Structure 1
């Protein structure tokens, strides 16, 4: 298995991964639109210096992805910028093989190379499998967002 930065030739598969993420998250969020939409501007993200898209590849096939974006912290935080992870996806047939850990490790290295130490992500509170995967690599919950209709 190879872990590498994504490039423009990967875009079609990355767009498929994005739809896989959306379909996996639909049961956790009744406010998501029906039909196809995009969370990310992947084409733009591939060309930005403040973004990294990392992919896992096995036998020439992309099997997973993740991204990091540098964001400004809130004025009340004790750090100036942080790395925000997203676009986390592993092909269902490759789950449970440590792909997520390898992608996050690469994103942590990218974050470190940018001089940042704070890394954050968001996950639906009912998505216990994703929460477990992130806790395995050291993430801890710090905030619960709530809604009222």
Structure 2
């Protein structure tokens, strides 16, 4: 698999072929639903990230086709804590037909290296509690749970 930074010319294909399927899959695991104008929102969001030095999106290609992506950003803790930079992975997605073949790990490794080069002390991410495949990937990559995000509906 070839991994490269997302480029402006790939933005429409990226949103259609990777980002929307990822968000649909995420919505199926949560209480959230996609906004009616998700395509426009996705293009706008990722276009703004292209010129931001504190964010990165890598796309994976196999035989020229987009098959996965990872997005990360630099974060700092609240100002009362020691000032360290953290590489926060906001999204990882691999097309279902190539899962469990190393693509997710390769994309995660690219984000980790990006964070390392930018002097980040940690890599962190969030994962749905029921997403056992993703949790297994992240644990195999050396990530460990430190917190639990708990939620209660307010009907």
- Asked if TM exceeds 0.5, the reply is yes
Distance 1:25 1:123 in 2: 10
The 8 Å contact of residues 85 and 121 in structure 1, kept in 2 or not, is answered as yes
The 8 Å contact of residues 104 and 137 in structure 2, kept in 1 or not, is answered as yes
Q: Any unmatched runs of 5+ in structure 2?
A: none
TM-score computed with the length of structure 1 as normaliser: 0.89
Residues 70 and 130 (structure 1 numbering): CA distance in 2 closer, same or farther, change over 3 Å? Answer: same
Distance 2:119 2:96 in 1: 33
Q: Which position in structure 2 is the counterpart of 1:50? A: 54
Q: Which position in structure 2 is the counterpart of 1:4? A: 4
Q: Which position in structure 1 is the counterpart of 2:142? A: 138
Residues 34 and 2 (structure 1 numbering): CA distance in 2 closer, same or farther, change over 3 Å? Answer: closer
Q: RMSD value over aligned CA atoms?
A: 1.9
Distance 1:44 1:85 in 2: 17
- Give how far 1:79 is off: 4.1
How many positions carry a matched residue from both structures? 149
TM-score computed with the length of structure 2 as normaliser: 0.86
Q: Which position in structure 2 is the counterpart of 1:21? A: 22
Structure with bigger helix share is 2
Distance 1:33 1:108 in 2: 29
Q: Any unmatched runs of 5+ in structure 1?
A: none
SS at match of 2:143: coil
